[in-house]
A and B are shown apart, each in its own frame.
Chain A
Amino acid sequence: MLEVAGVSKSFGALAALAGVSFTVREGEVFSVIGPNGAGKSTLFNVISGLHAPTGGRIVLRGTEITGRPPEVINRQGLAKTFQITNIFPGISVYDNVRVAAQSRTPVSGRLPSLWRLPDVEGPVMELLGAFGLTARRGDLAQNLSHGEQRYLEICLALATDPALLLLDEPTAGMTPGETKEATALIRRIALDRSLTVLLIEHDMRVVMGISDRIAVLHFGEKIAEGPPEVIRSDPEVLDACLGGADE
């Protein structure tokens, strides 16, 4: 599904990523963990096209996407959510998801889009229903609660009908109750839509509960990779990650 091979990224003298490699298999939930500043978000930004990597290759479903812009990578079947909520605040919840879903209609980007409005009501309502946002569809997105906004952002990503979903700390800022609910929901939707999920997460309980495999980043390098049980007992990981991160 996704192959990351020796990817490096430097900002000036700072090497945020140094030769990171891993492969995400189809249908699995793959998580990347690590302490703050380990390069997790940089890794996501490089994969999703916000930054071009300084070195290495990224292959998505057999197509090389290294250094392509986000809008192109998104159309190759990769959607992402952001660590800091990133939605369209000033328009309604329904319009948020609608504009996302419309990017996959045939008319999009063609001349008739100047006077036509494709009908995507079915998929939009289905998504809003799955995330419990149906009753709030008429509200401005900025008036939603934090948890609802996080869900809305996942709706936006899913509306582009991706094969691979990148979630950057989806439960950031949620209460423990919300976190548990969100984790279960993400797991279920990934199964329903046979999605592959690449997850960045800080909260170890979330990661251990949801992931098929885990990679650990530390100072821009991958120090471990394996199923949750193995990672949990890896002494290097415990030292680097679990020791320092849970402030």
Chain B
Amino acid sequence: MARYIVGRLLAAIPVIFVIALTVFVLGRLLPGDPITFIVGTSQATYTPEQLAVIRRDYGLDQPIYVQFAIWLGKALTGDFGRSFQSRQPALDVIVPRMLPTAQIAIQTWIFAVIIGIGAGVISATAPNSWKDWLGTLTALFGAAIPFFLTASLLMFVFALRLRWLPASGYVPIYQDPIASLRSTLLPSLTLCLGLAAVVVGVYALTVSYFATTRRGIYFALLTLIFAEVIYTFFRYTQTFGGSDGIQGLPASQLWPGVAIDTPARLYYLVVAYLLLAYLACRALVRSHFGQVLVAIRENEDRARFLGYNVQRYKMGVCMISAILTGLAGALYPGRAAYATPDLLHWSISGEFLIMVMIGGLGTLVGPIIGGVFFTVLQEKVSSYVQWYNIVIGLVLVLIVLFVPRGLLGFRHALRRRPGREAA
């Protein structure tokens, strides 16, 4: 054991050296002169002679390997230099942050172990069951969602809305362990789970578990009933603003600092997302999973007798569509800085169904065409008459009557020679 520890410690030396070298070289390779950090943006007010003096003071006129050697020598003797930002010795900046960092790291580790091992054991005892899938998906989303996104969501719910936990600040663990735990709980949770997707995922899983035990129209009705329950919850409770919903949402950020705040940016983001979603769906349809879905659509019983767990496939596709629409919903605040419970109403789902029917069921391009057609129709007609819903309804009736396969089927109908229909 002692030999192992010594071995690991010795092995750490080259690792630290390589990391230090990499960080050092990367720092110098980045565009921009370190001088800019030191003198700020007022560089123009310095004469070239003054800048040269500052350079020499900081040793920046030496070749890079000499600079690294000087830095390494000082670091080994405990001198880490000064922070460019605060001009304080670097150690004074780092040391106060070490305790919270260590505490968050350890707590994260504990949470991750409890949740991870727990989920792992559950998954392992029931391989290929919904529990296994839940664990896998949770892990996948926890890993896939950026921390800053999860952090903002958790802060919004637990600190700003529910006020269960402080939004910022740190209480040292030696002063008050409970308050300390509370102040570090959010960052720890953020680091070990992607909660947002978990919320959507758990909801979709619950709904699909009950709904997929039913078929056809009963399945559709059950999902709508669940939507009504969720709608009613948000509409008549005040936690998320009641009927007014959440107001004054900031524009989404693609990554920190890049906000989607102009219509053009939002447009291109939506188009990019549409393209990605389309490609993802196309890959999915062509995958084994997608082929089994087609088989289930064709003949559910036959698929069962070929060894496919039909309910699990239905739940899977339910969750995938929930995640796709969930992500699409995240783009919504870019269009309007609010989210009202009306968006949860089942009639919104109904609009989606109408779009799919207009475009053509069982295709990938159809719903896109249907969506464009429906939206344009709604916008245009409603700008002329108040009773635009009647016009839209009539158009739908005509489509269902004359091109039951949707606008995409219209193309096929035109191409087909007359008389072949009977064959």
Residues of A in contact with B (beta carbons under 8 Å apart): 48, 69-71, 74-75, 79-80, 86-91, 95, 98-100, 102-105, 107-109, 111, 113-118, 156-157, 159-160
Contacts and interface: CB of A to CB of B under 8 A. Distances in A.
Interface string B296-326: 0011011111111110100000001000000
B213 interface: no
B418 to A, nearest CB: 21
Given A86-B299, A90-B298, A99-B291, A69 B286 contact: no
Given A71-B307, A75-B307, A113 B288 contact: yes
A91 B287 contact: no
Given A95-B294, A102-B292, A103-B306, 8 more contacts: A74-B307, A87-B299, A91-B294, A102-B291, A103-B308, A111-B136, A115-B284, A160-B307
B128 interface: yes
Most buried by A among B283, B302, B312: B302
B292 A99 contact: yes
26 contacts: A69-B304, A69-B309, A71-B304, A71-B307, A86-B301, A87-B302, A88-B295, A89-B298, A89-B299, A91-B298, A95-B291, A100-B306, A102-B291, A103-B307, A104-B307, A105-B288, A108-B288, A108-B292, A111-B136, A113-B289, A114-B287, A114-B289, A115-B283, A115-B284, A118-B288, A156-B302
Contact of A99 (B128, B295, B305): B295
A95 B140 CA distance: 31
A194 B301 CA distance: 27
B121 to A, nearest CB: 19
A99 B306 contact: yes
Nearest to A111: B136
Q: How large is the interface on B (under 10, 10 to 19, 20 to 34, 35 or more residues)?
A: 20 to 34
A34 to B, nearest CB: 23
A116 B307 contact: no
A103 B302 CA distance: 12
Nearest to B312: A109
A109 B284 contact: no
Contacts of B308: 71, 103
Contacts of B301: 86
A70 B304 contact: yes
Contacts of B303: 99
A107 B288 contact: yes
A109 B292 CA distance: 10
A79 B291 contact: no
A70 B284 CA distance: 26
A105 B309 CA distance: 15
Contact of B288 (A48, A80, A86, A116): A116
Contacts of A117: 286-288, 291
B313 to A, nearest CB: 9
Nearest to A104: B307
Interface string B76-91: 0000000000000000
Contacts of A98: 291
Nearest to B283: A115
A79 B128 CA distance: 21
Given A87-B302, A88-B299, A91-B298, A71 B288 contact: no
Contact of A160 (B295, B306, B310): B306
B299 A71 contact: no
Of all A-B residue pairs in the complex, the 3 with the closest CB atoms, nearest first, are A88-B298, A74-B307, A113-B288
Contacts of A108: 288, 292
